[in-house]
């Protein structure tokens, strides 16, 4: 039998360095990637895939501020808007999965395959679910000078005046809600698409647009000042900040009607389990803070009692299935 022997000759200095390295590793004095006992050792970047000023940004900032204190490292907000939030999400998907690049994820994140002809990532499999914040329903709002002040009368008016009703939306989810409401109500309406909730509500206030679908934070002050009328909350439960506004089911009997979004935290795929667990522990401390709870409520987000990564992943998959079917039902084609 042929034996091949290789002889290594090390200098005394090399032997000492190698021995020191073995000693440090054995006693855990050198950081190991993915070790929750060492994470984090540097600032964490939180990507918000929208411009400053929206709900995602308003949620991310107080959250990052408090998470920085708990983690003992700065959590830095970085806005990367554009392409229906896919620019920021793609940046996170392609980042190193070490827990130092995170994503403030809206519910529409998982709807890309139904709304866009192509996206550069898999919205579920290319991400690690980390924490679930809660859900936020959409509102159907109206100009106060219209000949109706509730959803039932709106349907009656629209049937008596076919084609005269106008409804605005500012993104894929609000458009889906508007389309579903029209289809289930058996009415005709002209759909008007806006680039943001601000321009849409300005047209409602000016009387150029009759109705609009949007997220509550933009419209709560206007509703309280009676400058607009919120006809319905487009979810299965009433909004705690607007307890007087009925759900669609309560108003016209469309049981199970639910057009809500949600917010969660995620990172690139394959973040190690120890880092995920460390993040979850720190996030739980932040979400239990009374002031953070108040900030979440002020954004009309119904905070979830279960913020676990498992809950987050389950919501992502269920929402993709449920809303994907509704988008197809509404006849919305990928753009």
Domains and CATH numbers, the chain: 44-135+262-329 (3.40.190.150), 139-252 (3.40.190.10)
Residue (of 137, 132, 133) closest to 261 by Cα position: 137
pLDDT of residue 197: 82
User: For 7, what's the count of Cα atoms within 13 Å in the CB-facing half-sphere?
Assistant: 1
| Euclidean distance between CA atoms 20 and 18, whole angstroms | 5
Neighbours of 155 (CB within 10 A): 20
Omega before residue 40 within 30° of 0, cis: yes
DSSP state of 247: B
Residue 21 corresponds to which tokens in the numbers above? Answer: 């390295």
How much is the pTM?
0.79
Instruction: Write out the chain's pLDDT in tens, 335 residues.
Output: 444 343 445 555 544 554 444 444 444 443 344 455 689 999 999 999 988 878 899 999 999 999 999 999 999 999 999 888 999 999 999 999 999 999 999 999 999 999 889 999 999 999 999 999 999 999 999 999 999 999 999 999 999 999 999 999 887 788 889 999 999 999 999 999 887 788 899 999 999 999 999 888 878 889 989 999 999 999 998 988 899 999 999 999 999 899 999 999 999 999 999 999 999 999 999 999 999 999 999 999 989 999 999 999 999 999 999 999 888 887 888 87
User: Burial, 75: exposed, middle or buried (Cβ in 10 Å; 0-12, 13-18, 19+)?
Assistant: buried
CA pair distance 58, 52, nearest whole angstrom: 8
For residue 36, the model assigns a pLDDT of: 52
What is d(CA 316, CA 108) in angstroms, rounded to the nearest whole number? 10
Tell me if 75 sits within 8 A of 44, measured CB to CB. Answer: yes
Tokens of residue 291, six digits: 């002031």
Tokens 């290319």, residue located:
126
């Amino acid at each position: 039998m042929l034996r091949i022997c290789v002889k290594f000759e090390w200098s005394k200095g090399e032997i000492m360095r190698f021995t020191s390295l073995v000693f440090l590793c054995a006693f855990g004095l050198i950081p190991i990637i993915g070790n929750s006992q060492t994470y984090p050792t540097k600032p964490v970047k939180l990507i918000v895939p929208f411009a400053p000023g929206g709900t995602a940004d308003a949620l991310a900032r107080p959250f990052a501020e408090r998470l920085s204190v708990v983690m003992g490292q700065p959590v830095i907000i970085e806005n990367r808007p554009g392409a229906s939030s896919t620019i920021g999400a793609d940046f996170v998907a392609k980042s190193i999965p070490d827990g130092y690049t995170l994503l403030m994820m809206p519910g529409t994140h998982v709807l890309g395959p139904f709304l866009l002809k192509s996206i550069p990532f898999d919205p579920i499999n290319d991400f690690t679910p980390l924490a679930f914040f809660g859900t936020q329903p959409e509102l159907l709002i109206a100009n106060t000078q219209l000949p109706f002040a509730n959803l039932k009368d709106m349907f009656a008016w629209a049937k008596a005046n076919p084609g005269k009703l106008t409804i605005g939306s500012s993104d894929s989810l609000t458009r889906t809600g508007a389309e579903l409401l029209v289809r289930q109500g058996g009415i005709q309406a002209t759909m008007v698409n806006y680039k943001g909730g601000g321009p849409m509500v300005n047209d409602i206030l000016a009387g150029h647009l009759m109705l609009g679908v949007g997220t509550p934070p933009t419209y709560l002050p206007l509703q309280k000042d009676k400058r607009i009328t919120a006809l319905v909350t487009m979810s299965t439960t009433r909004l705690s900040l607007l307890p007087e506004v009925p759900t669609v089911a309560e108003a016209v009997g469309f049981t199970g009607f639910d057009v809500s979004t949600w917010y969660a935290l995620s990172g690139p795929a394959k973040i190690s389990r120890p880092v995920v667990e460390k993040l979850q522990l720190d996030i739980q401390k932040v979400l239990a803070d009374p002031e953070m709870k108040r900030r979440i409520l002020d954004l009309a987000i119904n905070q979830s009692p279960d913020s676990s990564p498992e809950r987050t992943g389950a919501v992502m998959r269920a929402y993709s299935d449920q809303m994907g079917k509704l988008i197809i039902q509404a006849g919305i084609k990928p753009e």
